Structure 1
Amino acid sequence: MPDSHLDAAVLASLQDVMEDEYPVLLDTFLTDSDERLRHLVAARQSADAQALRLAAHSFKGSCSNMGAVLLANLCKQLEEAARREQLDDVPALIEQIEREFAIVRILFRAERQRYR
């Protein structure tokens, strides 16, 4: 897996810890991430900086825990923009997050296929 998108060491650690439940973790992350993206978009549409900050913070933690380093970094940038109430930066950041998550989704689905 490309290092720029996923941290192989984090995934290896998760595999060791989760054992047979690792595929379930991957599935859960993908499902939860779709919901987190919906929260980001909804907060942007309502121009709710606080909701956007909280949603970005939550998504950042989830991505970080799963080794999605670039996605976590983009969420951190969005969280900081929302904290500063710089909402002009938000649409471009959410677009970047959506693009990066599309890549991560493909990589995690490929990872998931290894356990069928």
Structure 2
Amino acid sequence: MEKLLTNYFETASMILFGVGFVTLLLHNNLIKKIIGMNIMDTAVFLFFIAKGSIQGREAPIVTGVHKGIAGYINPIPTALMLTGIVVAVSVTAFALALTVKLYEKYGTIELDKIMEMRGD
């Protein structure tokens, strides 16, 4: 139990991922599925940022005295998460555009009703 409290960012990210995954699986509404996917994305970002952060070290921006390699955190996880955020926003925009097109064609965003109308 002590490790869970010490690593509360990692614990929170796992809980968020579970909430997003359950939302993605259990709801038929496309908007709710997109929200669940975004919650899962956020959980992954939080997890990697928490793992990339080391207490006692600074961001790799040298202002004044250089502290050596041991004085700074690795900037790669942060850079990868920034790229991941851009990709997540793009995927969300694309999914919302597809949802709008489905609504225009079928008049609903409920997946079970769309499958009924298609005859599948």
TM-score using structure 2 length: 0.35
Larger Rg: 2
Higher relative contact order (CA 8 A, sep 6+): 1
Q: TM-score, normalised by structure 1?
A: 0.36
